[in-house]
Amino acid sequence: MSCPSRFAFVLAIAAALAEPACAQDFGRPARPDEINLWNIDVRPDGAGLPKGHGTVAQGRSLFEDNCLACHGEKGVGGIADRLSGGRGTLTSDHPLKTIGSFWPYATTLFDYVRRAMPYTAPGTLSDDDTYSLVAYLLSLNGVVPANATLDRASLLAIKMPNRDGFVPDEAFVNSRNYRQP
Amino acid sequence: MSIPSRSSLSRRRVLGGVTGVAGCIAVAEQAVASGLADVPPRVPGGPLGLTSPRSQYVHIGRVPESTPGKRPVDPSDAINSKTPLHNLLGTITPADQHYERSHAGVPNIDPTEHRLLVHGMAQRNLVLTMDDLHAMPSTSRIGFVECTGNGWENWKTASPDLTVQQTHGLISTNEWTGVPLSFLIDLVGVDPRSTWMLAEGGDGAAVARSIPLTDEIMAEAILAYGQNGEPLRPAHGFPLRLFMPGFEGNLNIKWLRRLKFGDRPFMTRWETARYTQLQANGKARQFQLRQEVNSVITAPSGTMKIRRGYNPVTGLAWSGHGRIIRVEVSTDGAKTWTDALINMPALPKAQTRFSTHWVWDGKPTKIVSRSTDEKGNVQPDRATFIQATGTNALFHYNAQQTWAIDDNGAVRNVLS
C-alpha cells in the first residue's frame, strides 16, 4: 500500500508520528451497497442509467401532482424555470434556454430530475417515475411522441435538438496531468 | 475629513483619506460635534461578551437578488445575496458578509452525521467523517470565490441607480482552511488514468460539478472546513466544501459529501444547461471555468456623491490566473490612464486593494479601472468584450466598469 508522499509537510507529520499515514488511518472502506445508495450520477454514455421504464402519460400525471405548481402548466408560466419551447431563439436578443432548445443530453435530464426534483422532496422519485417524467418533458418539447415509453436503451438513443450547440474550452476538453501514463 | 490641497498630500495621508471615506459610507448619519467640548464624555463601557457585535452605528449588510433587473427582491425569493463591496475595507470579507449563492437553500447539517464518500477510479473507496478530515494534514489559503454570474446586471443595459454591491457583489475573499485535495488523491490511490472528478453537495439539489484534474487544480484545491479562522458558516458549506482558487464559484461545491473519480466529464445540469455561456452565434461555451482578470472602483461608485476638489479613489482587482500586478484608473472616460497604488501583499487569486486620488474640476466625466495580472491578461473594455462575446452569455462578465459623474457629483452606473 502506498502512502501519501507529495507534500513535504505530510512526510514531516508522518515522520513525527513514527508511523506512516496510510489509508487505514482515515475513514473506513465504503461498502458496495452504500456506494450504490449515493452513486446517483448519470453520464451521457449511459453509465449510471438504471433499469426501469415510464410513459409520457404517467409522466403527465406525475408532473401535474409534483411539478406544475412551480413550473406551470406544460412547463410554461410558472415561478420556476420554463421547461419547453424556445427553439430557434438562441441567437435572438432574448434567448429562451429550455430542455428542448438548450439541454444537450437526455441523460442529464434524468440525472437532474432524480437528484434535485421535486424541489420540496428531492431524491424521492423512483427510477420508473423519473423515466416517466423525462418522457413527458421530452414530449412537451417534441423530442419524443406523445405515446412514447422510455427505458434505458430508448433514452440513450435520443439525440437532443441542441446536442451540437456546445463548444468546450480547449484548456479543459482534454484534461491531463502529470500522473498520467 | 477636511479636504487637503493636492500639493500637501503625502502618500500616507492619501491612504488615510481612502480609508476614511470608504469607512464613512457604512456609518450612519450622526450629529457632528461642533467643538471638542461637545464630544460626549468618557464613561465606563459595557461588559465583555462571548462574541463582539458590530457597532450600533455601523450598518452593513448583503442585498438579496433573484435575476438581473428584478429589484427589490424579497429574501424568500432570492437565489443569491451580494457582498457590500462599497462598505468593506482592505481585502478580507467578513464571513457573514461573504456573498451567497445556493440552489436549494442552506441545509442545517450536524457534522457528526456528515460523511464524505470518495470513490470511482481509485484503489480504495472510503467513507470519511469530519473527525477523519480534521485529523489529516491541513493548509490555509487566502483567495476569492466569485459567482460565475458576477457582473450580470450589465450585459445588456446599465441601470443608473445600481451600487457596486449590485453590479459586482458576487465576489468575496476569505482565508480557507482544510485538507489539500492532493492528499485525498494519494490517500485513495486515484487511478492515473482518471482526469475528471465529480464533486457533489449534500444540499437538496445535490449540486454536482465535474472538475478537471489538471496539475494546477490538484495542487491548489482544498477540502475546506475553516473560513476566516472559524468553522465554515452554514451558508458557505458547513461542515465541508471545496475551495477551488481562481475557478468559478459553482465549482466550489458546498456541503461536500461525494467525490467520484472518472475519465471524462459527467455532464451535470450545472455544466450543460446552467453555467455555459451562450455566444452571439447561438453556440454555448462550456467548461469556461476560470474567472478572468477583473476590477472595479468601489469608491466613488454607483449612487455615491462626490465633492469638487480632492477625491480618493479605491477599488478591488482580482484574477483567476494569479496575482494582480497593475491597476490603472482613468478619470476622463478611458482617454488617459494613471497607475494606481496596489496594496501589498497582492496575493494570487485573491482580491487586491488599489487606490489613487484625483482632483475633480466639477465637470461631468467618467471614471474607469482596468487591471492586469501576472500572466499578462488585461481587463478588456466593454466594446471589445461584447464584440467577442455578445450579450447573451449571462456568466463570466469581466469588462471594465464605468461610473459616470454628473455636474452635481452624483455617481451612476453606465455601460461605458
Q: Which residue of A has its CA nearest to B137?
A: A10
What are the tens digits of pLDDT across the range B121-150? 999 999 999 999 999 999 999 999 999 999
What are the tens digits of pLDDT across the range B39-94? 999 999 999 999 999 999 999 999 998 888 888 888 888 889 999 999 999 999 99
Find the mean pLDDT for residues A73-88.
96
State yes or no: pLDDT of A130 exceeds 70: yes
Residue A35's beta-bridge partner residues?
none
Which of B119, B204, B284 is opposite residue A165, by nearest beta carbon? B284
Residues A60 and A108: their CA atoms lie apart, in Å, by: 19
Which of B129, B214, B267 is opposite residue A44, by nearest beta carbon? B267
Residue A63's beta-bridge partner residues?
none
DSSP collapsed to 3 states, chain B = CCCCCHHHCCHHHHHHHHHHHHHHHHECCCCCCCCHHHCCCCCCCCCCCCCCCCCCCECCCCEEECCCCCCCCCHHHCCEEECCHHHCCCCCCCHHHCCEECCCCCCCCCHHHCCEEEEECECCCEEECHHHHHCCCCEEEEEEEECCCCCHHHCCCCCCCCCHHHHHCCEEEEEEEEEEHHHHHHHHCECCCCCEEEEEECCCCCCEEEEECCHHHHHHCEEEEEECCEECCHHHCCCCEEECCCECHHHCCCCEEEEEEECCCCCCHHHHHHCCEECCCCCEEECCCECCCEEEEEECCCCCECCCEEEEEEEEEECCCCCEEEEEEECCCCCCCEECEECCCCCCCCCEEEEEEEEECCCCEEEEEEEEECCCCECCCHHHHHHHHCCCCCCCCCCCCEEEECCCCEEEEECC
Gap from A92 CA to chain B (nearest CA, Å): 8
Domain boundaries, chain A: 43-166
The confidence score (pLDDT) of residue B9 equals 40
Residues of A in contact with B214 (CB under 8 A): 172, 175-177
B187 at A interface, C-beta within 8 A: yes
The confidence score (pLDDT) of residue A173 equals 76
Cβ <8 Å between A41 and B215: no
Cβ <8 Å between B212 and A178: no
Residues B202 and B131: their CA atoms lie apart, in Å, by: 18
Instruction: Please indicate whether residue A11 or residue B86 has the higher confidence score (pLDDT).
Output: B86
How many residue pairs bridge chain A and chain B with CB atoms within 8 Å of each other? 176
Residues B381 and B325: their CA atoms lie apart, in Å, by: 18
Residues of B in contact with A95 (CB under 8 A): 278, 282, 392
State yes or no: pLDDT of B281 exceeds 90: yes
Contacts of B151 (CB under 8 A, 6+ apart): B167, B168, B170, B294, B397, B398, B399, B401
Gap from A33 CA to chain B (nearest CA, Å): 12
Residues of B in contact with A75 (CB under 8 A): none
Cβ <8 Å between B192 and A180: yes
Residues of A in contact with B135 (CB under 8 A): 25-26
Find the mean pLDDT for residues B291-319.
98
Fold of A43-166: Cytochrome Bc1 Complex; Chain D, domain 2 (1.10.760)
Cβ <8 Å between A116 and B205: yes
Residues of A in contact with B186 (CB under 8 A): 2-6
The confidence score (pLDDT) of residue A179 equals 86
Any idea which of A43-57, B34-48, B368-382, B397-411 has the lowest mean pLDDT?
B34-48
Tell me the whole-structure pTM to 2 decimals.
Answer: 0.91
Which of B127, B218, B286 is opposite residue A28, by nearest beta carbon? B127
The confidence score (pLDDT) of residue B26 equals 52
Cβ <8 Å between A91 and B280: yes
Residues of B in contact with A115 (CB under 8 A): 205-206, 208
The confidence score (pLDDT) of residue B31 equals 61
Percent of chain B residues past pLDDT 90, beyond the cut: 88
Cβ <8 Å between B214 and A176: yes
Of B121, B129, B140, nearest in space to B196 by CA: B121
Cβ <8 Å between B283 and A180: no
Residues of A in contact with B391 (CB under 8 A): 93
The confidence score (pLDDT) of residue B30 equals 55
The confidence score (pLDDT) of residue B309 equals 98
Gap from B162 CA to chain A (nearest CA, Å): 22
The confidence score (pLDDT) of residue B10 equals 40
Give the other-Cβ count within 10 Å of A9's Cβ. 12
State yes or no: pLDDT of B6 exceeds 60: no
Gap from B3 CA to chain A (nearest CA, Å): 47
What are the tens digits of pLDDT across the range B249-272? 999 999 999 999 999 999 999 999
